[in-house]
Structure 1
Amino acid sequence: MKLGFLTACLPGRTLEELVEWAADQGYAALEVAAWPALGDRPFTATHVDVVGFGAADAERVRALFDKHGLTLSSLAYYDNNLHPDPAERQAVNAHVTACIDAAALLGVPTVGTFVGRDPGRSVAENLRMAGEVFAPLVERAGERGVKIVIENCVMEGWHPDGYPGNLAYSPELWEWMFDLGLYLNYDPSHLVWMGIDPVEALRPYVDRVAHAQAKDIEVFPERRNRYGWPGRAVVREDPWDVGWWRYRVPGLGQVDWRRLVDTLYEGGFDGVLSVEHEDPVWGGTEARVETGLQVAHRTLSPLLVA
């Protein structure tokens, strides 16, 4: 198993700067952000522009990673593949396709995205639509030797009332995804606030985890007593501020990383564990983000067998 991080936490850095810094800090891999270049949402970045990506681009990126002894573990484009606007949905699907093609040129094994959701439709209706949307994507990925991995993020901010906006939040939905030919980019933090044991939930499905993310979470039960599970309802200016939990870098939250890494090893996982830095305490400036990544490295690196 190798330790990496998702580059979206440092959107202002070039890929060259990120690779050099990661290698200097002892990281062995990068999960590279590949959102469209004109995007402006938080926790997104364009460190590989997959639009018009060709063989020469792939050679340049491969040479960069080889020079510093790093692995490019996945291309990351997490967006709503079931967007309620048909034009926007088609654009998202098309960008996933471009990521698949770029990953194939690079020899990268996975492309990460979300299932998503149309919040105006029932779960059952969304699942039927997802079967249609993902069939050609899975087929294209398979033809090119790439796996599509879905992060089990709840994406509560995509739903007007804070309910799940990404239909991949539970083992029940993972099994449905696997039937479509999708794989899991496993992140334990999202399960904790939903009341699911992240270790026991993972144990039966390690063989379908093609990539893993390391994000921690800090939960405040006394605040949940006020807001309930969906979070703030009366005043919620930020759709992502539920009011009773927050993400942290590994080691500063409640995930038992020793048990979790051991479960991955026991199940045969030998891929990349990628730190996803969304910690508000160690955010806000590049220097603080770097410190957060260093904290995560100190927490996780002793648990990984070189």
Structure 2
Amino acid sequence: MRTIKGPGLFLAQFARDTPPHNTLEGIARWAKNYGYKAIQIPSWDARFFDLDRAYDSATYCDEVKGKLADIGIAVSELSTHIQGQMVSVHPAYDAMFDGQCPPHLRGNPEKRRHWAADQVRKAALVSRRFGLTEHVSFTGSLAWPYFYPYPQRPAGLIEECFAEQARRWKPILDVYDENGVDLCFEIHPTEDVFDGDTFEMFLDAVGGHKRCNINYDASHFIKQCMDYVGFIDVYHERIKMFHVKDAEFNPTARQGVYGGYKGWLERAGRDRSLGHGQVDFGAVFSKLTGYGFAGWAVYEWECCLEHPEVAAREGAKFIADHIIEVTDYAFDDFAATGADRAANLKLLGVGA
């Protein structure tokens, strides 16, 4: 067993255009003051980080690492959630994604796709330059409009979806392998990989690629009514990253799992600040620790009720209190008999 590292903080939801949340050094100091030991950097946010520059310049990477080291905070991982999702976009979502991509790519889905794939590939080398061994992203989605369809899906549609996903992602996974970095997909509704079954479909399609791994986030499973603790039993060998995010699912006579047309406050399934939802983090941390997970426990805040400043302050302590410092000896060692094999055979009544 190994002790989970943390607490870490994903910066994406805390970014603002005002200090201290508008520069990497400013937000790093802010996070450090709350007790965070590491930050997870959204690579698309130019206020914090320039992924293209980091790819072109090892010196730039060293400068960023040095500034953060002086502050006393580490980088847990880099994130390409937004770029990864743009690797595979169904045309129904083109107009909305144009609002998230650089202006020169808008109105050109194919150009956007190649740019996104290149961004995710670049993050592999940059991760290596930072001494990181994990990276987090999304798979994107080609089949989500057909998630619960009528008329029924034609035969072979889902198989073709995952075959196409493999054609797009297998070369990217190979780049991550060349750089010694695990690409951890966040399993998430609206992505083609949204639960265990779809992860297995994707994994099969990429030939069981050793760099195809999981960013575990129980909040996405709570809202799907899944066994989020049992999920760790099934997939612990592929879980290489950990987002600590709380959520709740409170179905009513009017609404259940498919309550996404309502605003966040009115949804049966919604994200909450740590300790305010239904995730049993005692069980989650115990299970991950038991399986030897030694990555970072990184807080991702997406609560629709609590102020982010309060959530950040309380979240650091919440994670620290749940990290289990693993023992290096058994609790009953005090009663050890010191028996050897001969003594054991004698105790069993077995002759030498």
> What TM-score, normalized to structure 1?
0.84
Residues 115, 167 of structure 1: 8 Å contact kept: yes
**Deviations 1:40-98 (Å, cap 9, x if unpaired)?**
xxxxxx52210122111111111123223322111111132211333322222111112
2:31 equivalent to 1:31 = no
Q: Which residue of 2 aligns with 1:18?
A: 27
Q: Which residue of 1 aligns with 2:162?
A: 127
Instruction: Give the whole-Å Cα distance in 2 for the aligned partners of 1:35 and 1:268.
Output: 31
2:244 equivalent to 1:220 = no
- Structure 1's unaligned 5+ residue stretches are 38-45, 155-164, 283-287
Q: Which residue of 1 aligns with 2:315?
A: 296
Instruction: Give the whole-Å Cα distance in 1 for the aligned partners of 2:49 and 2:295.
Output: 21
Query: Which residue, 214, 229, 235 being the options, matches 2:257?
Result: 229
Letter in 2 for 1:83: V
Query: Which residue, 58, 63, 66 being the options, matches 1:63?
Result: 66
Instruction: Give the whole-Å Cα distance in 2 for the aligned partners of 1:152 and 1:120.
Output: 17
Compute the displacement of 1:17 (Å): 1.2
Compute the displacement of 1:115 (Å): 0.7
**Deviations 1:122-165 (Å, cap 9, x if unpaired)?**
432221111111111111111112111101121xxxxxxxxxx2
Letter in 1 for 2:237: D
Moved over 6 A (4+): none
Sequence identity, in percent? 22
SS of residue paired to 1:207: coil
Instruction: Give the whole-Å Cα distance in 2 for the aligned partners of 1:174 and 1:140.
Output: 20
Instruction: Give the whole-Å Cα distance in 2 for the aligned partners of 1:169 and 1:255.
Output: 18
Residues 11, 40 of structure 2: 8 Å contact kept: yes
SS of residue paired to 1:250: coil
SS of residue paired to 2:81: coil
- Alignment of structure 1 residues 44-193 onto 2, 5 Å: 46-53=47-54, 54-79=57-82, 80=85, 81-84=87-90, 85-118=109-142, 119=144, 122-154=157-189, 165-178=190-203, 179-180=208-209, 181-193=211-223
**Deviations 1:143-201 (Å, cap 9, x if unpaired)?**
112111101121xxxxxxxxxx2022211223344424311011000001111011011
Residues 173, 212 of structure 2: 8 Å contact kept: yes
Counterparts in 2 of 1:5 and 1:232: CA distance versus 1, 3 Å: closer
Residues 8, 33 of structure 1: 8 Å contact kept: yes
Letter in 1 for 2:267: G
Compute the displacement of 1:214 (Å): 0.7
Residues 82, 115 of structure 1: 8 Å contact kept: yes
Q: Which residue of 2 aligns with 1:246?
A: 270
SS of residue paired to 1:185: strand
Q: Which residue of 2 aligns with 1:40?
A: none
Residues 259, 269 of structure 2: 8 Å contact kept: no
- Structure 2's unaligned 5+ residue stretches are 91-108, 147-156, 326-352
Residues 162, 202 of structure 2: 8 Å contact kept: no
Counterparts in 2 of 1:289 and 1:190: CA distance versus 1, 3 Å: same
Compute the displacement of 1:205 (Å): 1.6
Residues 231, 244 of structure 1: 8 Å contact kept: yes
Bigger-Rg structure (1/2): 2
Instruction: Give the whole-Å Cα distance in 2 for the aligned partners of 1:105 and 1:269.
Output: 23
SS of residue paired to 2:76: strand
> What TM-score, normalized to structure 2?
0.73
SS of residue paired to 1:212: strand
Q: Which residue of 2 aligns with 1:210?
A: 240
